[in-house]
Each structure stands twice: as C-alpha cells, then as structure tokens.
Amino acid sequence: MSQLVNSILVLLVLTGFLLLGSSRLAACIRAVAIQGLLLGILAIAVQDGQLSVAGVLFPLISGVVKGLFLPWMLFRAMREAEASREVEPFISYNLSIMAGAVALAVSLWLGQRLKLPSQPPSSLLVPAAFFTSLVGLIVIVSRRKALTQVLGYLALENGVYAFGAAVALELPVLVELGILLDVFVGVFVMGIAIFHIGREFDHIDTDKLASLTDQLR
C-alpha cells in the first residue's frame, strides 16, 4: 500500500510543478484535474484495508467532481470567455519553478518539524500536502488571468484536502459532503463570474480589474 501512496504523492508534486511551469491554460487545467483524480485515489489508498462504503464512495464523488466535472466547466469558461490560451504570468516561468522549489524545501522542512500524534501512512504525505497548497498560493498571486486564479484556489483546496487525508481525519460524512459542495459551488460561481468578466472586458486579465481604489484628498 505504501508504495502506491508514495507514487501518488510523487505524482502530486509533479502536477504542482506542471501547474507552475506550463504556459498553456489547457495544460494547467489538466494538471489540476489530475490532482483531483489523484486525491480521490489517495483517500482510498490511505485507508489500509478496512474499507467502508462511505470511505470508498466519498473519495469517488470527490474525484469525479474535482477531476472531471470542474475541469470540464473551466474548459467551457475558457472557450466562452474566448481567453487567449496563454497563462500570462507576472513573473517568468523559470522564476515560478524556482518559487516552487523553495516551496518544496519549506514543505519538507515543515513536514519534519511537525510531530503528528499518529504516524501518517507515508512520511511524504504532509510535505506533499503543504507543497500543493503553497503552489496554489503562488499561482493565485503571480498569474494575471481570472481563470488561473481559480486554478490556484483549487490547488490550495486540494492541498488542504490532502492534509486531511494525511492525518486520517474521520470527518463525518455530512461535513465532508458540505466541504465538497462548497468547493463545487464556489468554483461554479467563479466560473460564472469569469464568463461575465470575459463579456464585460473582452479579456479575463485581473490586472485590468483595478478601477476600485481609494481616492483620498
């Protein structure tokens, strides 16, 4: 089992770098979609043999929503907003990758420092979760397009979810469903907003969203 968990975690880290380094919007959406699917598998893999119905069903739903449905919606938003297919970051791709490397180092250090009360299924789990969250934050602040900011938000959420899997939290089903529903509706509403931004401004660059500032005497 731990072999499977470790390979999933390595793939998770690689998708993080993919998200930071690709210049194509479609590739970024795909990277986040793969993350969603990986997390679904991860949540089942960490359960070590004692599978319950809810324990399988819930990661499946989550994987379908985050890995298939939301990416499909973002692809649609991309087409409808007729965004150019480039990511257009504020910082160069090299610098993004560098930032990712620093984030990975910080995550590994944090993973060693934090003492969990129970041993996680893999020592890589906590670092990979923190790394995915940090990648999300980097993408949110360093990218220009509204769509990439949503991708960053999803990556952040994925990292938090992975941390939940790492500490083998037994959250009640109602809460898990609520969290998933919030992410789902959140991205849905953001998708609608992107559609409106595309129509209103003829582009979805958020640095043009800068008419609201304080005008002081």
Partner 1 sequence: MMVALLVLIPACAGSVAFFVESDRFRRVLLLSAATAQAALSLATWVVQPTPALGGWLAEDALGRLFETLTSLLFLAASFYAVAYLREERSQSHADFEEGFLFSNAREASFTGCLLFFLAAMTLVTVSQQLALLWVAVEATTLASAPLIYFHRHHRSLEATWKYLLICSVGIALALLGIFFLAVAATKPDGSTIPLVVQELSSRAQQLNVPWFKAAFVLLLVGYGTKMGLAPFHTWLPDAHSEAPSVASALLSGALLNCAFLGILRTQEICVAGGLADFSGRLLLVFGLLSMAVAAVFITGQTDYKRMLAYSSVEHMGILAVGIGLGGTAVFGAMLHVINHSLTKAMLFMVAGNLLAVYRTKNATDVAGALSVLPASGLLWVLGVFAITGSPPFGPFLSEFAILKAALDQGQAFVAIVYLGLLAIIFAAMAAPALAMAQGTPRENVVAPAARSLALSAVPAILGVGVVMMGIYIPAVLTRALREAARFLG
User: Judged by CB under 8 A, how many residues of this single chain contact partner 1?
Assistant: 43
Segment contacting partner 1 (CB under 8 A): 8-16, 62-70, 94-102, 169-177? 169-177
Token readout for 130 is 């923190």
Distance in angstroms (rounded) separating the CA atoms of residues 82 and 11? 31
> In this structure, how many other beta carbons lie within 10 angstroms of the beta carbon of residue 88?
16
Using the minimum distance from each CB to partner 1, give the nearer residue, 85 or 208: 208
Query: What distance in Å separates the CA atoms of residue 11 and residue 202, rounded to the nearest whole number?
Result: 36
In the bound state with partner 1, the residue whose beta carbon lies nearer, of 7 and 199, is: 199
Judged by CB under 8 A, which of 186, 203, 205, 207 binds partner 1? 186
Nearest by Cα to 36 from 64, 13, 9, 56: 64
Instruction: For residue 52, report the phi and psi dihedrals to the nearest 5 degrees.
Output: -110, 170
First to last CA, the chain: 65
The Cα–Cα gap between 47 and 102 comes to: 31
Between 96 and 133, CB nearer to partner 1 = 133
Rounded CA-CA distance 71/67 in Å is 7
Query: Least separation, in Å, of the C-beta of 94 and partner 1?
Result: 25
| Interface characters, 81-120, with partner 1 (x: CB under 8 A) | -----------------------------------xxx--
- Select from 44-52, 54-62, 73-81, 178-186 the region that touches partner 1 (CB under 8 A): 178-186
Q: How many CA atoms, within 13 angstroms, populate the side-chain half-sphere of residue 115?
A: 1
Q: Which of 49, 52, 174, 207 binds partner 1 (CB under 8 A)?
A: 174
Q: Are 56 and 44 in contact (CB under 8 A)?
A: yes
Binding mask 129-168 for partner 1 (x = CB under 8 A): ----x---x--x-----x--x---x--xx--x--xx--x-
The residues binding partner 1 (CB under 8 A) are 116-118, 133, 137, 140, 146, 149, 153, 156-157, 160, 163-164, 167, 169-172, 174-175, 178-179, 181-182, 185-186, 189-190, 193, 196-197, 200-201, 206, 209-212, 214-217
